[in-house]
């Protein structure tokens, strides 16, 4: 009986240690970008940064294509999104600034 209780205690301890999650991991979006402190949170930050930078490249390419088609830079990012067919949903995940004078899109950190 004593061995059984010891085995159950050890199994419980292993499950608790391996299955414990931080408060940050319990939430879908635990804290705002750049303020995460755990390894998991920092990995989320890097993944978001990578996605934002990739979309930035797509936006700049779409601006260039718009300018070559219309012989002027688009008035705003909405015009670029509409003509290029890029998903507008990505704009809410990252902050971009657009300069219609130069046709450059930049990522705000």
Q: How far apart are the first and last CA of the chain?
A: 60
Number of folded domains that form the chain: 1
85: left (phi over 0), alpha (psi -120 to 50) or beta: left
**Domain of residue 55, residue span:** 2-108
DSSP SS3 for 35: coil
- For residue 97, pLDDT beyond 80: yes
- pLDDT digit string (tens) for 78-92? 898 888 888 888 777
Q: What is the pLDDT of residue 18?
A: 62
* Phi, psi for residue 40 in degrees, rounded to 5: -60, -45
- pLDDT digit string (tens) for 17-72? 666 666 656 655 556 666 777 888 888 778 888 888 999 999 999 999 999 999 99
Could you identify the residue written with the tokens 């989320």? 44
Could you identify the residue written with the tokens 């402190």? 37
Q: What is the pLDDT of residue 15?
A: 65
């Amino acid at each position: 009986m004593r061995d059984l209780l010891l085995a159950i205690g050890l199994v419980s301890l292993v499950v608790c240690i391996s299955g414990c999650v931080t408060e940050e991991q319990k939430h879908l979006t635990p804290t705002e970008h750049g303020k995460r402190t755990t390894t998991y949170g920092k990995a989320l930050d890097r993944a978001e940064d990578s996605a934002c930078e990739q979309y930035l490249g797509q936006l700049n390419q779409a601006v260039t294509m718009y300018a070559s088609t219309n012989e002027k830079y688009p008035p705003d990012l909405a015009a670029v999104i509409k003509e290029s067919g890029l998903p507008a949903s990505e704009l809410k995940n990252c902050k971009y600034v657009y300069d219609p004078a130069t046709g450059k899109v930049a990522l705000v950190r």
